[in-house]
Amino acid sequence: MSEQIEMVKICKVIEEAESVRTFIFSHKMDFAPGQFIMVWIPRIDEKPFTVSYHTQEEFGITVFRLGEFTKRLYSMNVGDQIGVRGPYGNGFNVSGKACAIGGGVGMAAIVTLATERDDIVIVQGAKTAVSLLYRERFPNMVMFTDDGTEGRRGFPTDYLSQLQEKHKFEKIYTCGPEIMMKKVLDFCLSRGVQCEASLERYMKCGVGVCGQCVCDGFRVCTDGPVFSADVLSKINDFGRYSLSKSGKKVNV
Amino acid sequence: MKPPMTINLSADICGIKLVNPTILPAGFLGTTKEILKRVANSGAGAVTIKSISSVARDGHKNPTVLMYEAGMLNAVGYSNPGVKAAANEFSNIGEIGVPVIASIIGTEADDFLKVIDGFGDLLSKSKDSSSRFSAIEIPLSCPHTPGFGTLAGQSTPEATSEIVSAVRKKCGLPLFVKLSPNVPDISKLAMVAQDAGADAITAVNTMGPGMVINIDAREPVLDFKVGGVSGAALRPIAVRCVFDIYKAVEIPIIGVGGISSGRDAIEMMMAGASTVGIGTAIYDRGIDVFKGVTDEMSDWMTNNGVGSLNEIIGAAHK
Ligand SMILES: Cc1cc2nc3c(=O)[nH]c(=O)nc-3n(C[C@H](O)[C@H](O)[C@H](O)COP(=O)(O)OP(=O)(O)OC[C@H]3O[C@@H](n4cnc5c(N)ncnc54)[C@H](O)[C@@H]3O)c2cc1C
Ligand SMILES: Cc1cc2nc3c(=O)[nH]c(=O)nc-3n(C[C@H](O)[C@H](O)[C@H](O)COP(=O)(O)O)c2cc1C
Ligand code: FES
């Protein structure tokens, strides 16, 4: 794949959770965990999605049904065709004893880390039991739900100290709601643990020219989406502002 | 051995001093003050904000930008947050550290004036130059946004004259008029702009529009179907336009279109440009392209015994 859009056919659909499906394509892709692709549905739109599944022969994306575009994508079947370009951006730097904390569909960005390294501890936070993702892929995952219907009750960030004391991580990766990532970052900075977070911003070009996805002086599509703690701690917009489709600054 | 030459890359456009002649053109990255600071720190001599209209616009749906073998097609559709939000974003504009050009758009002449009003002091000549824009640019030349540019007939001599005169009366800052390469006689249009009060010509905007069809999808790739062509494919056309304009008018020219190396920049200046815009090349060379291009210019000038830009501006006309 490359800068040109390639049309690919869905070869498998996995029901992940309520309103969440993974679509698999039998298509080779050079890819590093954390990178994303732009997905095109002709006449509808083109939007960014993390690659959540990757092998020598296949790749997949996990879609959370939200608005018009993801409704269309979510309702697609085996044999249907979409356009993809990418992968784009900088992924995670895989090293050391690590933990990956995902919240909601942000899980999609961190699960491919575990296929690279099987000693990574995966922690997932979800609203409720039926929203938990990838349970079969990662049976040893540590789970939290806001309402306590599965796993521990509460947010993963409430148990960071406990987890850290037990595992002594050298690095924590995170992707999910920005407020969660901000808490993870603050925790890591206070404990001297390395940290990398994958940011989400409205994207258009995906290749660093249009200025839609900027966070301070950084382009999330090209300089990110994964940023390390030393960069994140300097980004004033992190946890605060993003640009809407028109370019207006709005609170995240 | 000859003593080492001192190369002076400083440029001047309508009295605005630039440390080097490279400029970030409208529509690339210019969404926020912070990203423009980064572009300035990466070596641009001046920067332009993304074009602003009186009210917010979402622009066209994606895909809005696509690369092909010879350049880029775009149909962004002038997404922008509107002048009120932009005036807020670009307050404390001096932090950017280099001259900043305000690109403003409108459908009728009146709309341009509304944007100028909306920016208030940021476009007021009486303010200190570090607390306002250095110049105003009006693109009458976008080929893919209904209501604007060539699709709205803004590139006819009549419309050009009307809009330029109206903006001229309203705003005392240096006024750059950005032209389309898709006109029968660009030198005539440049003369019309000059007569109506333009202080400089920015040449050129994207050409076309063009279309790329994905044959497997059997659909045009851009959601708007057509888009302006920029990058390498545009360069010889932009150079010819600048060459023609240089012969026709007295006012300086900002040469834009397909520049991606120091040699390209020098070529554009030899055609008659005083400064150069670099946009699409950011895709291949990153934001550091500005530093890269100025270093390459400097090397070429050293090797060719050229000490300052004045020796190359318009050199191809002699
Ligand atoms: C790097 C990156 C990776 C992503 N990975 C995934 C993923 O793996 N799975 C997944 O389900 N979603 C992912 N998203 C978010 C996904 O792109 C949006 O959910 C989707 O675009 C929503 O579109 P919609 O039309 O369904 O909803 P809308 O109602 O149009 O939008 C809902 C919200 O989605 C976000 N959004 C909308 N359009 C865009 C856009 N063009 N770019 C970025 N955000 C947008 C906005 O925050 C918006 O408020 C990712 C986003 C980014 C930036
Ligand atoms: C993605 C994109 C967005 C653009 N947006 C604008 C714009 O808002 N206003 C404008 O005057 N020109 C706009 N242009 C035109 C550029 O400023 C420039 O004139 C053109 O791209 C040629 O230069 P280049 O080949 O170096 O890119 C845009 C071009 C591109 C590719
Ligand atoms: S989406 Fe265009 S710069 Fe990132």
Round to whole Å and give the CA distance between A50 and A88.
10
The domain locations on chain A are 6-88, 92-198, 200-252
Nearest of A235, A245, A218, A233 to residue A89 by alpha carbon: A218
Residue A127 has pLDDT above 60, yes or no: yes
Chain A CB within 8 Å of residue B59 CB: yes
Residue A158 has pLDDT above 90, yes or no: no
ipTM score above 0.90:
yes
Backbone angles phi, psi at A26, to 5 degrees: -90, 90
Average pLDDT over residues A81-100: 94
Single pTM value for the model:
0.95
**Fold adopted by B11-317:** TIM Barrel (3.20.20)
The domain locations on chain B are 11-317
Q: Check if B106 has its Cβ closer than 6 Å to any atom of ligand 2.
A: no
Round to whole Å and give the CA distance between B249 and B193.
10
**CA-based max dimension of chain A:** 51
Asked if A207's CB is within 8 angstroms of B35's CB, the reply is no
Chain B CA closest to residue A2: B67
Residue A67 has pLDDT above 90, yes or no: yes
Tell me what percent of the residues of chain B surpass a pLDDT of 90: 90
Q: Check if A50 has its Cβ closer than 6 Å to any atom of ligand 3.
A: no
> How does strand A214-215 pair with strand A218-219?
antiparallel
Are B177 and B202 in contact by the 8 Å Cβ rule? The answer is: yes
CA-nearest residue for atom 3, ligand 3, is A208
Is B142 one of the catalytic residues? yes
* Res B142: pLDDT: 84
Residues with CB under 6 A from ligand 1: A 36, 47-50, 52, 61-64, 66-70, 105, 108, 200-203, 225
Rg of chain B over Cα atoms, rounded to whole angstroms, equals 18
Average pLDDT over residues B107-134: 94
Return the structure tokens found at B287: 């934001």
Chain A CB within 8 Å of residue B38 CB: yes
Strand partners for A61:
A23, A51
What is the distance, to the nearest Å, from the Cα of residue B175 to the centroid of all Cα atoms in its chain?
Answer: 12
* Res A128: pLDDT: 92
Angle at A242 between CA A237 and CA A247, to 5 degrees: 125
Are A197 and A184 in contact by the 8 Å Cβ rule? The answer is: yes
Residue B4 has pLDDT above 70, yes or no: no
Q: What is the pLDDT of residues B213-226, one digit of tens each?
A: 999 999 999 999 99
Return the structure tokens found at B277: 């815009």
Nearest of A91, A212, A116 to residue B32 by alpha carbon: A212
Q: Check if B256 has its Cβ closer than 6 Å to any atom of ligand 2.
A: yes
Round to whole Å and give the CA distance between B242 and B253.
7
Q: Check if B257 has its Cβ closer than 6 Å to any atom of ligand 2.
A: yes
* Res A2: pLDDT: 60
pLDDT band at B3 (very low <50, low <70, confident <90, very high): low
Element (H, E) at A72: helix A68-74
pLDDT band at B2 (very low <50, low <70, confident <90, very high): low
- Closest atom of ligand 3 to A206 CA is 1
Residue A1 has pLDDT above 50, yes or no: no
Say which range, A47-61, A65-79, A156-170, has the weakest mean pLDDT.
A156-170
Chain B CB within 8 Å of residue A69 CB: no
Return the structure tokens found at A123: 């922690």
Q: What is the pLDDT of residues A15-56, one digit of tens each?
A: 999 999 999 999 999 999 999 999 999 999 999 999 999 999
Asked if B79's CB is within 8 angstroms of A249's CB, the reply is no
Instruction: Determine the length of chain B.
Output: 318
SS3 at position B301:
helix
Q: What is the pLDDT of residues B72-96, one digit of tens each?
A: 999 999 999 999 999 999 999 999 9
Chain pair A-B, CB pairs under 8 angstroms? 124
Round to whole Å and give the CA distance between A78 and A84.
16
> How does strand B16-18 pair with strand B11-13?
antiparallel
Separation of CA B205 and ligand 2 centre (Å)? 6
Q: What is the pLDDT of residues B157-199, one digit of tens each?
A: 999 999 999 999 999 999 999 999 999 899 999 999 999 999 9
Round to whole Å and give the CA distance between A62 and A16.
8
pLDDT band at B48 (very low <50, low <70, confident <90, very high): very high
* Res A244: pLDDT: 92
Strand partners for A153:
A145
Are B105 and B83 in contact by the 8 Å Cβ rule? The answer is: no
Asked if A207's CB is within 8 angstroms of B30's CB, the reply is no
Asked if A205's CB is within 8 angstroms of B82's CB, the reply is no
Chain A CA closest to residue B220: A42
Rg of chain A over Cα atoms, rounded to whole angstroms, equals 17
Query: Which CATH entry fits the domain spanning A92-198: 3.40.309.10, 3.40.50.80, 1.10.340.30, 3.30.2350.10?
Result: 3.40.50.80
Separation of CA B65 and ligand 3 centre (Å)? 10
* Res A50: pLDDT: 97
* Res B141: pLDDT: 83
- Closest atom of ligand 3 to B65 CA is 2
Chain B CB within 8 Å of residue A244 CB: yes
Question: Of the bound ligands, which one is closest to the alpha carbon of residue B65?
Answer: 2
Those of residues 86-105 in B touching chain A at CB distance below 8 A are 89
Say which range, A32-36, A163-167, B251-255, has the weakest mean pLDDT.
A163-167
Are A96 and A103 in contact by the 8 Å Cβ rule? The answer is: no
- Residue B78 Ramachandran class (φ > 0 left, ψ -120 to 50 alpha, else beta): left
* Res B148: pLDDT: 85
Chain B CB within 8 Å of residue A43 CB: yes
Residue A172 has pLDDT above 80, yes or no: yes
| Interface with chain A: mutation pick from B32, B50, B95, B288, highest number of A CBs within 10 Å | B32
Round to whole Å and give the CA distance between A192 and A172.
11
Nearest of B116, B77, B118, B102 to residue B178 by alpha carbon: B102
Which DSSP category does B233 fall into?
G
CATH level 2 (architecture), domain A6-88: Beta Barrel (2.40)
Element (H, E) at A164: helix A160-167
Chain B CA closest to residue A207: B283
Question: Across all residues in chain A, what is the average pLDDT?
Answer: 93
Return the structure tokens found at A17: 């959770």
Residue B1 has pLDDT above 70, yes or no: no
